[in-house]
């Protein structure tokens, strides 16, 4: 039976880099890893070609903060958080999307490893998550959502996110960074990886993915510890 692994976090936190690195690790274990974007599923989605994840090339591929955008902080300059009580209305749409998404996975990727991002958790970061008295509402709604096998929240400081996304408003990046941190408190089953080094986050992600696959019996337990995954990849491969 396949697995669904979610990489989530603010823009510029290294989700794409770490997920592709994890896909390379999964491929090395003799398994297939596919990327499926979390979106509104249509009939066309069930006939689209499966998208294998391209391996990371350490000579050329760099994390997001190595490819900064042009300097102009105008995106989300007027961003405002939504009201807590708006979420139950939007939740109906989110839950419908998640069930259609899982139906697609069950029918087309039943024996594969699926990596996805921007899952339903991400929508919560546009709400005032610093008010913990409302957490019960989010937890209650998410009890009705289908469950993924692993959720990794990759987060960085506002300064690092600003370096990776110069066009984004500092206020917006600060809010979403704090809200992604709060997601780990709302949903204890998620794994928060908070570090300004994308390579440290990659190590933690690889360790979590290996643990999931070994615990499920899909691969043998890894012989090396998580903190040296990335270093060993760099020593042993040109392409990872």
User: In the chain, where are the structural domains located?
Assistant: 3-236
More confident residue, 37 or 96: 96
Whose tokens are 């009201």? That residue is: 83
pLDDT at 240: 37
Residue 115: which H helix or E strand, with range?
strand 113-117
Closest to 5 measured CA to CA, from 33, 24, 45, 30: 33
Q: State the virtual CA torsion across 30, 17, 35, 106 in degrees, nearest 10.
A: 70
The average pLDDT across 75-79 equals 76
Tell me: pLDDT of 51 over 80.
Answer: no
User: 43-72 burial, b for 16+ CB within 10 Å, e for fewer?
Assistant: eebeeeeeeebebbeeeebebbbeeeeeee
pLDDT at 86: 86
The average pLDDT across 33-54 equals 72
Does 3-236 carry CATH code 3.30.70.380?
no
pTM value is 0.81
- The token pair at 80 is 């405002």
**156 band by pLDDT with thresholds 50, 70 and 90:** very high
- d(CA 137, CA 155) in angstroms, rounded, equals 24
The C-alpha angle 181, 184, 185, rounded to 5 degrees, equals: 100
- How many C-beta neighbours within 10 Å does residue 13 have? 32
pLDDT at 96: 87
């Amino acid at each position: 039976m396949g697995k669904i692994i979610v990489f989530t976090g603010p823009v510029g936190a290294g989700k794409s880099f770490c997920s592709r690195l994890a896909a390379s690790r999964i491929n090395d274990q003799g398994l297939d890893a596919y990327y499926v974007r979390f979106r509104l599923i249509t009939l066309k989605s069930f006939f689209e070609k499966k998208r294998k994840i391209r391996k990371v090339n350490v000579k050329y591929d760099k994390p997001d903060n190595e490819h900064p955008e042009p300097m102009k902080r105008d995106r989300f300059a007027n961003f405002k958080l939504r009201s807590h009580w708006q979420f139950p209305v939007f939740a109906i749409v989110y839950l419908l999307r998640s069930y259609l998404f899982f139906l697609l996975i069950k029918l087309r990727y039943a024996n594969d490893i699926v990596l996805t991002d921007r899952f339903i958790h991400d929508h919560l970061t546009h709400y005032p998550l610093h008010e913990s008295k409302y957490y019960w509402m989010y937890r209650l709604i998410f009890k009705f959502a289908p469950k993924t096998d692993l959720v990794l929240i990759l987060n960085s400081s506002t300064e690092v996110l600003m370096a990776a996304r110069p066009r984004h408003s500092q206020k917006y990046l600060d809010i979403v960074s704090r809200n992604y941190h709060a997601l780990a408190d709302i949903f204890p089953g998620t794994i928060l990886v908070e570090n300004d080094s994308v390579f440290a986050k990659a190590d933690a992600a690889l360790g979590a993915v290996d643990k999931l696959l070994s615990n499920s019996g899909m691969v043998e337990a890894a012989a090396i510890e998580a903190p040296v995954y990335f270093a060993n990849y760099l020593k042993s491969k040109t392409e990872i």
